[in-house]
Structure 1
């Protein structure tokens, strides 16, 4: 092919002979045709691939928790609170937003009742939690809340509180020792099952999950994880699911889960899901994004804290979260503690649960996006009415 040079508009450009140009156009046209034909086909196969029977069943199960109707199922009456009570909230770890949300709401609810509510941070350390519990007993508080603190890890403090006849209640511990200590909880296993079903659905039955299992929280090990494990390890529900479990300690929440996840995803490119509660998942998501691993894996979390909701909205690793309305939980604890301090039995508070992903996150208000899901119901007004108090 003969090449000639032409000057156009003051610049020098290379031109080819007519035969060369004709040949080039033919090649480009052929290539364009191949791209036009092949690309849509491969994309449509991925997008329109039929769900397996297992994935179809998982889709139905997950969607039920994404659309369930929310209504008040809490108590219909409550005793008028006694003003001036002093309450200690022993929190597992205020660095975890799921705990901090509940703590703030208990302070808020207590203020409405004319109570003084003080939060004692256990810092993710059973020794610190036990120390905080014992200090509350020494200070002769009128009531004590253990927030995501396992009673078995603070057993001597629990024994002292019971001996001193200080009303004691827990939030989110699932099972207490002794079992006479009341707990406010929701359906943790249902949370875990919903997350597992969502993963199966969205991966069409091809799940390779990294479970980041906290070693300190009884409720996580025996609640959400049990629900998820029962689904993912059931060959009838997911014959091709694979699960890898890595443990970490609450005291190391800022570094350990994200380090484990980054290393695991780099070592095993087949991992396509990570799983842990949201205070962990938000850290993991940020780490995977920073390491350019975000495209390789999706995250399934629980709590639906504000940061995780934004990550889901932005498509930053976390794709789904199972929610309980943490502030509603806190008001429920205060209501039952009021009953305990008046010598009455506690009641079922009817805490709702929900599953959120990018498709239904738009139903959340701006307030919920910045504070976490509130339950889709004005629970604050409902409790204030029960208590006979104003805002």
Structure 2
């Protein structure tokens, strides 16, 4: 069940060729590492000084909070009396749960009703949840954390009933989608998230690391993200991809501890860093790492490439088996989802806004429990209160 892809000398050449031009570093080729990677803070890995310098610069920029609001300031006034249904892939996914909370908060501010239906993380459960959502006859449906092609029949029914769909992590890219049909999809750019998570590993390890990637290949968005992470890691010759663990998000609590125990047995001290498509993997990895007498502040150093839920911030703050996260602004995205529906109900186009990527580490977590940038609540309230044209 686990997908295992071990690096071989030159074995990643094809993947490197697919990396976006912005992510490529001239003169820095992928190679195999021999033996254990040195500890973070040691000498830079051989052959990749340009990649290391670029990664360090990207990390410095991503950890800086920007106090200014760069999202929408224009849009239609609130359309009254609407009800939304959030169809959740699974409410055990902290990202989905965080966005649902943001939708509830924003709906309260605009004067709408919200109901959340949990798909329980299975295709049959998601299909049943979507069917329940349609039966409630809402004004709009949120597709939260799953590929709407899993429920193509219900998506067609929603279109026939003129019920707009707004996605969160529903397809690979932000913005409107025609196939599957979404008024818009709210997410940070997955390329940016993948790149900065890989850059953090390169920078933290000083260019030499043994890495395990945790993903959920059943979710196209997650599978795409982990593939981009692998390609970005491949730009540094000193980084060796030890393994890719495919564990579905609903199964993390039951399968991650066993997978971690196996990884420790196979790779030992060569396993220096991990990156996961969701922070929840590290909540479930902690017991196995603790049982192996690994230190919470030591290797493997773990980064979550989404979504930055409060438990991830707590682990980072306490230095307990997680060192960094690339958090989505989950509450902000919930507010954006409500604003996008308001635009759909008003006949206006989608806003086109995409939140910038951010990085939280043990050095800058402070007292935060989530990435909640300033300004968006006041901005959306101003738009909904009076409208500002579009």
CA separation in 1, counterparts of 2:280 and 2:241? Answer: 24
CA separation in 2, counterparts of 1:137 and 1:73? Answer: 34
The aligned residue for residue 299 of structure 1 is 302
Give the drift of 1:47.
8.2
The aligned residue for residue 322 of structure 2 is 318
The aligned residue for residue 273 of structure 1 is 273
2:209·2:238 contact (CA, 8 Å) conserved in 1? no
Give the drift of 1:179.
4.5
Superposed, 1:280-359 pairs within 5 Å as 280-294=281-295, 295-301=298-304, 302-359=306-363
1:127-156 CA-to-partner distances (Å, cap 9, x unmatched) read 111111111112211111101121111111
1:212·1:257 contact (CA, 8 Å) conserved in 2? no
Give the drift of 1:124.
1.0
1:257 maps to 2:259: no
1:152·1:177 contact (CA, 8 Å) conserved in 2? no
Superposed, 1:47-58 pairs within 5 Å as 49-52=42-45, 53=49, 54-58=51-55
The aligned residue for residue 81 of structure 1 is 78
Q: Secondary structure at the match of 1:354?
A: coil
Q: Secondary structure at the match of 1:388?
A: helix
1:232 maps to 2:242: no
Tell me which of 364, 371, 376 is aligned to 1:379: 376
Give the drift of 1:116.
0.8
Tell me which of 211, 217, 220 is aligned to 1:218: 220
Tell me which of 68, 73, 97 is aligned to 1:71: 68
Give the drift of 1:233.
1.7
1:70-118 CA-to-partner distances (Å, cap 9, x unmatched) read 5322112221222221110001111122111111111111111111100
2:41·2:204 contact (CA, 8 Å) conserved in 1? no
Equivalenced residue count is 335
1:18-69 CA-to-partner distances (Å, cap 9, x unmatched) read xxxxxxxxxxxxxxxxxxxxxxxxxxx9787443514333212222211263
Deviates more, 1:334-343 or 1:279-288: 279-288
The aligned residue for residue 91 of structure 2 is 94
| Structure with bigger gyration radius | 1
Give the drift of 1:252.
1.0
1:119 maps to 2:116: yes
TM-score (norm 1): 0.80
2:143·2:167 contact (CA, 8 Å) conserved in 1? yes
Q: Secondary structure at the match of 2:359?
A: strand
Cα distance change, pair 148–77 in 1 and its aligned pair in 2 (3 A): same
Give the drift of 1:334.
0.6
Q: Secondary structure at the match of 2:260?
A: helix
1:131 maps to 2:128: yes
1:176-205 CA-to-partner distances (Å, cap 9, x unmatched) read 562541211212211111111111122222
2:73·2:379 contact (CA, 8 Å) conserved in 1? no
1:213·1:221 contact (CA, 8 Å) conserved in 2? yes
1:231·1:238 contact (CA, 8 Å) conserved in 2? no
Q: Secondary structure at the match of 1:254?
A: helix
Superposition RMSD in Å: 2.1
Superposed, 1:193-212 pairs within 5 Å as 193-212=195-214
2:69·2:375 contact (CA, 8 Å) conserved in 1? no
TM-score (norm 2): 0.80
1:189·1:226 contact (CA, 8 Å) conserved in 2? no
Higher helix share: 1
With CA pairs under 8 Å and 6+ residues apart, which has the higher RCO, 1 or 2?
2
2:282·2:321 contact (CA, 8 Å) conserved in 1? no
Give the drift of 1:239.
4.0
Give the drift of 1:330.
0.7
CA separation in 2, counterparts of 1:47 and 1:194? Answer: 17
Runs of 4+ in 1 over 4 A off after TM superposition: 45-50
